[in-house]
Structure 1
Amino acid sequence: MSKIFKRIYTYQFLLPAAIVYLVIFVVPTGLSFFFSLTRWTLSDWELIGFDNFVTFFKEPSLSIGFRNTFIFAAVTCLAKVAGGLLLGVFLTSKIRSRNYLRSIVFFPTLVSTIAVGIVFSMMMHPTTGLLNTTLAWLGFEGPDWLGDTRIALLSVAFVDVWRGIGFATVIYIAGILAIPAEYSEALQIDGGNAWNKFWSIIVPLSRPATNSVIILSFIGGLRSFDLIWAMTRGGPGFATDVIASIIYKQYQGGFYGLATAGNVILFIFVTALVFPLSRYLNRTEVDL
């Protein structure tokens, strides 16, 4: 009986978190799966089976949306990993004002995504934007950053990296500072230099931080919507359309059941990519 009471006493502390998780995640997810099988409005619904999923997969721009979603997630994830690692190494070195520099690097993360999108849309304007004006002053002709179908998606990805690299850097700073100093001392005794320290100590032993940045950045890239919508609204044409923007356009058109089915598809798509990736990364972690 004492063991039973001990378990009940322990589970009491988990109950508030379980209730919050149930109300905020489990119930809405279950309702989403249900309403994806219906044709619904704010006042009525009708069960129609899998018709919404069939219709959604017939969306002309869906294949482009899947491709753009994966490209956007992959590019932003790799850039945040590489840039965050380099900035993390730089900001944990013996430099002056490193705390001030850390604040500067992290600051873009605190700014509203919509505000960032609006500001960079103005900066990337082909004729009056700051970027092309500066390039013209230097004697170069700048491209139409958001109007050229070849570079529009990469332009938005650059802005997403600028905004999110500070968070990746903070994770790397924590990971690098957690590496025991004995490793660096042993390397110095063996005559190793800064390059040896980077490749032999920092890169392998900051693997937990790398795994966290990869997972968080990849999920964020797959679910990205607000920055893309603020900057291009999926244009020009379908050049920057991602799955989330296609879903939003269905909501705008009043096709709520169809858009809900799209959300379910996006949930399954993200889970199918991230779950095996997370399992693989966790198996390859290096213990300190």
Structure 2
Amino acid sequence: MSTIARWYQKRSQKIAPYIFITPNILLFLTFMIIPIFFTFYISFHEWGILGKPQFIALENYTKLFSDQVFWTSLGNTVYYTAGTVPFSAAFGLLGAILLNRKIPLRSFFRAIFFAPVVVSMVAAGLIWSWMFNPNYGLFNEILSKFGIEGVSWLTSTTWAMPAVIITTLWLRIGYCLVIYLSGLQAIPDELYEAASIDGANGWQKFWSVTIPMIKPTTTFIIVMEVIHGFMVFDLIYTMTNGGPGFSTTVLVQYIYQKAFEEGQMGYASAIGTIFFFIIMGLTAVQLRLGREKD
């Protein structure tokens, strides 16, 4: 093989990987990076989708401080996330520990618990809205059997968000279970055998072996669940549409309302920019805490 041929072959081998990933890079730039920078740009303008954006500097951001609905939606988002993340992770871990044992129909139960994960959020919202119906819903029917008066779940400012949280737990526990299951199966059996030789009981093995070994898995689950909690939209839009009042309005829905219902793209972009930095900050803190624990 000539020197030119060898040079061409080496050159082709270096260029080939970049050719294969170019479509993904273009898609990532088109649908992720460019929209992010455009959102940041529009947040300094007043724009109603049509017409030319008008530069208004920091006016959209200063408006946020006096926007009570923004703070309410932020509080609802935190409430929803705090109500879903710890419980979905805890019940997911509990289910993973139970299904990691050699029990009859283990594969069947794993499939049953994971099934809600693949259900559409809209479909789940409709199904659970029927179950929470104050007149013929399953939950009020069960309460009536115990002589308890039914609750107006989705039309009550007190119970609407808990109803959405319960629905979310049904959807997300299976996801956490599967991730934890993979983490548990990666723990070497020798660690449990060594703990048994040292006289550790089941509870001590759990705290001294299981919990430390699945810390990376826990960090991943918490990060993903927090992001999911802050990004929720379709489930709440289907079940309550942010009501009653603004009791279940979350940040993503408020951004949608301002952008596509009221045509305030600049103000919606400012909220979206703040939302972006909140997500980035929370993720960075969780990853930092996870590394420190490791």
Question: What TM-score do the two structures reach when normalised by structure 1?
Answer: 0.90
Q: CA deviation at 1:15?
A: 4.7
Q: 2:30 is matched with which residue?
A: 23
What SS does structure 2 have at the residue aligned with 1:153? helix
Closer, same or farther in 2 for the Cα pair 1:43/1:64, shift >3 Å? closer
Work out which of the residue numbers 46, 51, 55 in structure 1 matches 2:53. Answer: 46
Q: Does 1:270 align with 2:286?
A: no
Q: 1:99 is matched with which residue?
A: 107
Q: 1:177 is matched with which residue?
A: 185
Q: 1:215 is matched with which residue?
A: 223
Q: 1:122 is matched with which residue?
A: 130
CA RMSD of aligned residues (A): 2.2
Work out which of the residue numbers 77, 94, 116 in structure 2 matches 1:86. Answer: 94
Q: 1:241 is matched with which residue?
A: 249
Q: 1:258 is matched with which residue?
A: 267
Q: Distance in 1 between matches of 2:238 and 2:22?
A: 39
5+ residue gaps, structure 2, are 1-6
Q: Does 1:144 align with 2:138?
A: no
5+ residue gaps, structure 1, are none
Q: CA deviation at 1:9?
A: 4.9
Conserved in 1, the CA contact under 8 Å of 2:219 and 2:286?
A: no
Conserved in 1, the CA contact under 8 Å of 2:60 and 2:270?
A: yes
The amino acid across from 1:207 in the alignment is: K
The amino acid across from 2:192 in the alignment is: S
Q: 2:165 is matched with which residue?
A: 157
Conserved in 1, the CA contact under 8 Å of 2:42 and 2:53?
A: no
Closer, same or farther in 2 for the Cα pair 1:60/1:209, shift >3 Å? same
What SS does structure 2 have at the residue aligned with 1:47? strand
Q: CA deviation at 1:41?
A: 4.1
Q: Does 1:32 align with 2:39?
A: yes
The amino acid across from 2:276 in the alignment is: F
What SS does structure 1 have at the residue aligned with 2:68? coil
Give a deviation string over 1:3-37, Cα, whole Å, max 9, x none.
Answer: x9699559636555443332332111111112222
Q: Distance in 2 between matches of 1:282 and 1:75?
A: 25
Conserved in 1, the CA contact under 8 Å of 2:134 and 2:152?
A: yes
Q: Distance in 2 between matches of 1:220 and 1:24?
A: 19
What SS does structure 2 have at the residue aligned with 1:61? helix
Closer, same or farther in 2 for the Cα pair 1:189/1:74, shift >3 Å? same
Q: Distance in 2 between matches of 1:6 and 1:278?
A: 38
Question: What TM-score do the two structures reach when normalised by structure 2?
Answer: 0.88
Q: Does 1:69 align with 2:77?
A: yes
Conserved in 1, the CA contact under 8 Å of 2:49 and 2:263?
A: no
What SS does structure 2 have at the residue aligned with 1:140? coil
Q: Distance in 1 between matches of 2:229 and 2:15?
A: 41
Q: Distance in 2 between matches of 1:148 and 1:178?
A: 45
Q: Distance in 2 between matches of 1:43 and 1:247?
A: 18
Conserved in 1, the CA contact under 8 Å of 2:241 and 2:249?
A: yes
Q: CA deviation at 1:127?
A: 2.0
Deviates more, 1:32-41 or 1:153-162: 32-41
Q: 2:291 is matched with which residue?
A: 282
Conserved in 2, the CA contact under 8 Å of 1:77 and 1:221?
A: yes
Q: Distance in 2 between matches of 1:171 and 1:114?
A: 24
Conserved in 2, the CA contact under 8 Å of 1:62 and 1:246?
A: yes
Give a deviation string over 1:91-142, Cα, whole Å, max 9, x none.
Answer: 1012111111110000001000011111111111122211101211232223
Deviates more, 1:85-94 or 1:19-28: 19-28
The amino acid across from 1:45 in the alignment is: K
